[in-house]
């Protein structure tokens, strides 16, 4: 039996299905202005429908595979994300479910870090939490990359990450960009 991930914006929310330019559905990241010191942040809760834990939960980006409707091209958007990351801007991932202040610690997606499946970034144990009747609480003994089944108090039953995109102040090419944010994991059924 396959084990599927569900991405939500809130701890008990339904699966993300924003309508994207071009007609696909996914996560609409919103607007990130040039040099914006406080860009839009997107919260993601990642849970699964398996009866056992999943392991090696990791993320990476790749060129957009939906109906492309950005201003450049899918490959140009991926190249731009890497270039921004190499400048310590671009896509940043805070993997602390209760991170305060937000983005005082984060993973920078850049060339060689989360820019392909081979360089995927394992979701850290700091991201693991559980849903306690609609209230988010800490997993008692979280493990990097592992998410327990629903109700698992030890590993937690979801990962909670927050993403943001920083455009460099000197960025000349503004407009819509589209990318795939991919998650990989191992499971036993």
Spell out the residues 6+ positions from residue 178 whose beta carbon is closer than 8 angstroms to its own: 20, 21, 22, 64, 66, 68, 69, 70, 74, 77
pTM reported for the whole predicted model: 0.93
Q: How far apart are CA 146 and CA 166, in angstroms?
A: 29
The residue among 133, 183, 136 whose CA lies nearest residue 158 is 136
Ramachandran angles phi, psi of 105, nearest 5°: -145, 135
Strand partners, 179: 63
pLDDT in tens, 60-69: 999 999 999 9
pLDDT in tens, 96-144: 999 888 999 999 999 999 999 999 999 999 999 999 999 999 999 999 9
**Domain regions of the chain by residue span:** 5-187
């Amino acid at each position: 039996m396959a084990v599927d991930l569900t991405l939500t914006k809130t701890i008990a929310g339904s699966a993300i299905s924003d309508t994207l330019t071009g007609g696909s559905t996914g996560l609409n990241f919103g607007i990130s202005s040039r040099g914006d010191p406080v860009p839009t942040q997107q919260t993601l809760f990642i849970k699964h429908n398996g009866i056992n834990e999943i392991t090696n939960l990791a993320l990476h980006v790749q060129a957009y595979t939906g109906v492309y409707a950005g201003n450049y091209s899918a490959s140009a958007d991926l190249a731009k994300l890497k270039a921004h990351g190499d400048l310590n801007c671009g896509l940043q991932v805070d993997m602390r479910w209760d991170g305060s202040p937000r983005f005082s610690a984060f993973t920078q997606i850049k060339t060689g870090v989360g820019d392909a499946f081979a360089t995927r970034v394992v979701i850290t144990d700091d991201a693991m939490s559980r849903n306690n009747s609609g209230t988010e609480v800490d997993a008692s003994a979280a493990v990097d990359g592992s998410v327990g089944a629903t109700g698992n108090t030890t590993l937690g039953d979801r990962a909670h990450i927050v993403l943001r995109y920083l455009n460099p102040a000197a960025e000349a090419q503004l407009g819509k960009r589209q990318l795939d944010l991919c998650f990989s994991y191992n499971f036993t059924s």
